[in-house]
Every structure is written in C-alpha cells, then in structure tokens.
Amino acid sequence: MARCPAALGASARAFKRTAQPAARVAVGATASSSSAPLGLARASRFPPASTSAAVARTFSTSAARALGPAPPRRPDFKKLDAEDVAFFRSVLSSDSSVITTIPSPDGSWATASADDLVSYNVDWMDKYHGNSPILLKPKTTDEVSKIIAYCYKQRIAVVPQGGNTGLVGGGVPLYDELILNTEGLNQIREFDDVSGILTVDAGCILENLSNYLAPKGYMMPLDLGAKGSCHIGGNVSTNAGGLRLLRYGSLHGTVLGIEAVLPDEKGTVLSINMPGDGKAGALRKDNTGYDLKQLFVGAEGTLGVVTGVSIMTPRLPSAINVAVLSVPDFESVQTVFKETRAHLGEILSAFEFFDQEGLELVLHHTGAKSPFESEPEGGRAFYVLIETSGSNKDHDDEKLGGLLESLLENGIIADGTLAQDETQVQSLWALRESLPEAAGKMGKVYKYDISLPLPTMYSVVEEARERFATKGLIEDGSIKTVVGYGHIGDGNLHINIVAKQWDEKVESAIEPWVYEATAKRNGSISAEHGLGLMKANSVHYSKSDAAIQVMQQLRRLFDPRGILNPAKYLPPTEQLPGEGEQKVQ
Ligand SMILES: O=C(O)CC[C@@H](O)C(=O)O
Ligand SMILES: [Zn+2]
C-alpha cells in the first residue's frame, strides 16, 4: 500500500482505496526530532525574489492604474515640492528615510530615479501603478506623527504601506500620494512569556516574528504565503486571514492592542490597550467603552496609520501532521471536512482545498511529480490538505489514523499521502502554498477572494469557466486557466483567473459578474484580502446602504480631510465633509 512519491522523497506514505477494507492507517513520525519549529519555514519568499526586476521592466510613469477607469485625482491635494522634502528631512532621524525624485534646489539631497521608487509604486502583481515622487520610511511613532500632522495641514495625500504584498491595490498610490512605508518601524517592543502577549512595531515582518517566538515556544496566530515580506501592521490593517485562521481565529480576536497615528493637526497618537501609558502590558480583557482597536483591524489605513500592535500568541505545537487527500468531487470535500472535524476535534489546524487545475498548475510550475499514486478517475479530482497541531504526538497520530481509516473504508477518499517528516510536511504544504506564485508565472492573474456558504462555493468556479468558454475567451487564449482553491475551514474561496495579459475584454467578462454571483449566493466579495482600490465601489454587493453610510461617516470622523488612502476602500461620499472640505474619496 505504501508508495514513495518522487516529489516527497523516500519515505512519504501513500495510501489508496482498495477493494478490501483498508488496513489501519498508521501515521508516521511527523514530529521533528529537532527543536526547530515545525511547518513555520515551509514557504519560499513571497512575492518571489524576481518580482522587483519584473516590475522594473513594466513600470510606466503614467499616473494611472493598469486597468479600468480610475477615479480622478483630487485637485485640492498638494503637489509635493522641495519645501515638503526639506521638512520631512528635518523631522526624520535618518537621511535614508526620505527617498524622492524631487530635485534639491541646493544639492542637500541626492535625487532618486523613478526606478528607485518602482517597487513601492507598483504592487507585486504588476496590476496597480502609481507615480509617487516620495517615499518616507520613519523609524519611530513620533516621526510618523510629525509626518501625518504636516500632511494634514498641507493637505498631502498619504498611502500607508507595509510589505506591499496586498492583492487589491490598497497599498500603492494611485497618483502622486506620499508613500509612508512602515519598514523602518521594526522593533520588537516586548514579549511576556507567561501570557504569550507580544508587542511590536507595525513594520516587523511576520516571518521574523515567528522566528523570534519559536525558541520561546510560541508562534504567531497567523501564517500567510507572504510571511517573508508582509508586515504585521499591514496584516492588521487588512485583517489578513491566512492558513491558521481555522484554529486561532481572526485578528479581531487575537489583536489586543493598537497604536495608531491619527490624521489630525497634531498627528495624535492613539494608544489602545498597549503597554506603556502607565500599564505593564496589554490586557486580555478590557470592557471600558467602545472597542476602538477593532476599527483599525481591516481599516486598510483609512482611519489612521497603525504603528504598533499587541497580539496574543499561541504555544508552538510539538506535533504536526499533514496529509493531502484526493476526492472525486466537491461534495466529497465537504464530507471529508465534516468527518475531519468530528474525528480530529481540537487538533485540526488547517483544512485547505485546491482543484485539478490548481494541482496541475503547481506541478507544472515546480516540476514536482504528483504525490498521488494514480490518475484520478475521469482525469479530475479535488484535493484537500489536512493539518493537525497538538502537544501529544501519539494522541494526534491515533486520531488522524482513525480518520484516514474511516475515510478509506467508507470510500470517501480515493488516494492520499501522509507526510513522514518535516521536509514532507513542507512539500505537501507547498502544493497549496505555491499556487498564487505558480499562477503569477503563467500570466496576469485576476484574483477574487470570496466567502460563500460551502454547498454552493465551487459552483462559482464552474459558472466562471462556462461563461468564459461561451464568450470565446478560452478558445482565443485570452484566458489560460481558471483555478479554484482556498480555506474550506473558513468558507473562503480564491478564484485565480490567469489571463495572457491585463485586458479590458477579460476584466469586463469577470466584473461585475463575479460580484453578482457572490451576492446571489449570499457571500461576501472580500473574505480576507480587503477592498483596496479594486473593490472600493463594489462594497454594496456585500453591505447595505445604511452600513456603507455609517462607514463613510466613521471615516470622515477620523480623517476629515480625507488624506489617508484616498479613492480606496469605500465609494466616495456625496456629502461634503465638515469645515467646507472637499468630498472624501
Ligand atoms: O493569490 C490568491 O488569490 C490567494 C492568496 C492567499 O490568500 C492564499 O490563500 O494563498
Ligand atoms: Zn487565502
């Protein structure tokens, strides 16, 4: 029964449905004998290292997004000049924190070229292109406060930016907005190894935080493909979900404290349940008034610039198992999920899925061999990845073994592979985690990130394929493939539509159809990637007019001049903000 798939090395354990009831499935030694954190280092850097070079080649200095109609630049925003640069240089502690293409009248700073700013002006998918002449990288909250106060007074539009790994155009300028990048805010402020509460600057890279916590026996409660580049402040500002949400919940639950700089005259620093201010640490419980920090989780930099975060971190598991199973249809994916929850209970830490197109894309991209013993019946199958994390390996092995045995005996799964060591854990995870990168290698990727009730989830992918075929977009090569994958445990589907190029014809075949299809099935048009520029005018598919209005009022309250991330996140308001301001976008 056991086979050694080439992709996984010598000892991966394959199991397959046989005519006879399957023998008990023994779960192999998946816990590492070393003390290294399991499963924390499995992904390659993301975006891929080649991204900057690719972007540099395609960068255009035109002030427009790659596609579709862009809202106009607000005429009241100040056009940055040398005086502004001189001010920023006077308040930032390091000259290297100010990078600008604006020439210095007296030679006191070196002028950067457009290429120096390109990887900050363009998103990693090469979909959204801005043309900012200035990038600031403050190192302290006080520096952020001085920048924001100045921008408020001068009406300078600002784009807060973390690792620039976003997928909806929220973190790059649309025109000439000032880019306020958090990479200089990279200090770990404190860690309490009794409560597990970690307090950090917003620009800390997620993977660095995981590496800091691992020797202490803790881990970050979230894990994303972009972990090697994304900043925790960006994660919080986009309410990033990722691969561990099923087990540890969303950032609305794990973030305990937020420090943010508000777009007002003083650049007020709002510190909510953060250590300091006479307090020893963030509190787990705090019921005094509105829970203001929640407003910043997922606000995409529209209410303030997040500069610090306190977050609850779980214990690092000592035993991890990963299995990838093949099932004949999407209904079986749901059956396996139900069975998995019933058998595994509290040790289930991830339940992901991808379709046949997804597997083929990854195998083609990585050159790996399929981990499965046989071709699926009819050439198509669905694949689920199950991860367990616990503190007692024997206990977890027994539970997972019981699950696999039951799935095989009942004919629910056709084929599967179980990791036998940490390398194999990583190889199996790579089948799922490499998907976005593999799609990006194939062409330009239209990405949709939707929440849907499970029973109708995959029908959107099928309908998309039919729709594109009817329109001739598959036959003429405009669309190369349509892939469905995602976080089944969270009801979150990712549809990646790989096109030959960014193409108005393709985009208009997808939008607004995909949003209508989602709304029709009572889904949400953004599960975890946010709204950004891409969905600012599509929120109504998931939120009522009343809800949108309250959000617009909140935004105006925090940002009366509308300088933070203009044109993103929400549709522009019709009503003028107070003080005779221009309309907020
Ligand atoms: O690129 C995508 O569409 C999804 C990215 C990410 O959310 C994932 O789950 O891999
Ligand atoms: Zn995802």
Ligand 1, pocket-test mutation among 244, 429, 529, most atoms within 8 A of CB: 529
What's the gap in Å between 432 CA and the centre of ligand 2? 10
> Which segment of 75-84, 267-276, 389-398 scores lowest on mean pLDDT?
267-276
CA dihedral 60, 62, 64, 69 (to 10 degrees): -110
Whether 74 is in the pocket of ligand 1, judged by its Cβ within 6 Å, is no
Ligand 1, pocket-test mutation among 168, 437, 494, most atoms within 8 A of CB: 494
22: CB partners within 8 A, 6+ apart: 1, 15, 405, 408, 409
Q: Pick the residue whose CA is nearest to atom 1 on ligand 1.
A: 436
Residues 190-218: tens digit of each pLDDT? 999 999 999 999 999 999 999 999 999 99
User: Residue 205 and residue 203: Cα distance in Å, rounded?
Assistant: 6
Whether 225 is in the pocket of ligand 1, judged by its Cβ within 6 Å, is yes
How far is Cα of residue 352 from the mean position of the Cα atoms in its chain? Answer: 15
Residue 496: nearest ligand to its CA? Answer: 1
Confidence of residue 31 (pLDDT cuts 50, 70, 90): very low
* DSSP, res 35: S
The CB density around residue 67, as the number of other CB atoms within 10 Å, is 20
User: Which helix (H) or strand (E) is 120 found in, with range?
Assistant: helix 114-121
Atom of ligand 1 nearest to the CA of 528: 7
Spatial contact of 352 and 486, defined as CB atoms under 8 Å apart:
yes
What's the gap in Å between 235 CA and the centre of ligand 1? 14
What is the SS3 assignment for 471-509?
CCCCCCCCEEEEEEEEEHHHCEEEEEEEECCCCHHHHHH
466: CB partners within 8 A, 6+ apart: none
pLDDT at 160 over 70: yes
Give the burial class of 109: count Cβ atoms within 10 A of its Cβ; 0-12 exposed, 13-18 middle, 19 or more buried: middle
| Residue for token pair 């849907």 | 452
CA dihedral 576, 578, 579, 582 (to 10 degrees): -30
Whether 494 is in the pocket of ligand 1, judged by its Cβ within 6 Å, is yes
Q: Pick the residue whose CA is nearest to atom 5 on ligand 1.
A: 436
Atom of ligand 1 nearest to the CA of 492: 9
What's the gap in Å between 530 CA and the centre of ligand 1? 12
Atom of ligand 1 nearest to the CA of 487: 9
What's the gap in Å between 36 CA and the centre of ligand 1? 26
236: CB partners within 8 A, 6+ apart: 202, 251, 255, 258, 296, 297, 306, 309
Residue 14 has a pLDDT of 74
Residues 71-125: tens digit of each pLDDT? 899 999 999 999 999 999 999 999 999 999 999 999 999 999 999 999 999 999 9
Q: What are the φ and ψ backbone dihedral angles of 6, each rounded to 5 degrees?
A: -60, -35
Dump the DSSP string for 206-226. HHHHHHHHGGGTB--S---TT
Ligand 1, pocket-test mutation among 239, 361, 449, 510, most atoms within 8 A of CB: 449
Q: Can you name the residues that pair with 306 across neighbouring β-strands?
A: 260
- For the entire predicted model, the pTM comes to 0.90
Residue 491: nearest ligand to its CA? Answer: 2
CA-based nearest residue to 455, from 521, 396, 544, 532: 521
235: CB partners within 8 A, 6+ apart: 162, 206, 222, 224, 251
Residue 12 has a pLDDT of 62
What's the gap in Å between 530 CA and the centre of ligand 2? 11
Whether 496 is in the pocket of ligand 1, judged by its Cβ within 6 Å, is yes
Whether 526 is in the pocket of ligand 1, judged by its Cβ within 6 Å, is no
Confidence of residue 402 (pLDDT cuts 50, 70, 90): very high
Whether 238 is in the pocket of ligand 1, judged by its Cβ within 6 Å, is no
Whether 436 is in the pocket of ligand 1, judged by its Cβ within 6 Å, is yes
pLDDT at 339 over 90: yes
Whether 489 is in the pocket of ligand 1, judged by its Cβ within 6 Å, is no
271 or 47: which leads in pLDDT: 271
CA-based nearest residue to 482, from 460, 455, 513: 460
What's the gap in Å between 400 CA and the centre of ligand 2? 24
Residue 230: nearest ligand to its CA? Answer: 1
Give the burial class of 293: count Cβ atoms within 10 A of its Cβ; 0-12 exposed, 13-18 middle, 19 or more buried: buried
Residues 525-548: tens digit of each pLDDT? 999 999 999 999 999 999 999 999
What's the gap in Å between 70 CA and the centre of ligand 1? 25
Whether 47 is in the pocket of ligand 1, judged by its Cβ within 6 Å, is no
CA distances from 465 to 380, 496, 511 (A): 15, 11, 14
Whether 227 is in the pocket of ligand 1, judged by its Cβ within 6 Å, is no
Q: Pick the residue whose CA is nearest to atom 2 on ligand 1.
A: 436
Q: What are the φ and ψ backbone dihedral angles of 528, each rounded to 5 degrees?
A: -150, -5
CA dihedral 503, 506, 507, 510 (to 10 degrees): -170
Spatial contact of 499 and 443, defined as CB atoms under 8 Å apart:
yes
Whether 434 is in the pocket of ligand 1, judged by its Cβ within 6 Å, is no
CA-based nearest residue to 1, from 426, 521, 450, 408: 408
The CB density around residue 299, as the number of other CB atoms within 10 Å, is 26
| % pLDDT > 90, the chain | 82
Spatial contact of 379 and 367, defined as CB atoms under 8 Å apart:
no
Atom of ligand 1 nearest to the CA of 167: 1
Spatial contact of 404 and 316, defined as CB atoms under 8 Å apart:
no
Spatial contact of 177 and 132, defined as CB atoms under 8 Å apart:
yes
CA-based nearest residue to 354, from 245, 243, 272: 243
User: Residue 492 and residue 334: Cα distance in Å, rounded?
Assistant: 13
330-347 mean pLDDT:
98
pLDDT at 571 over 70: yes
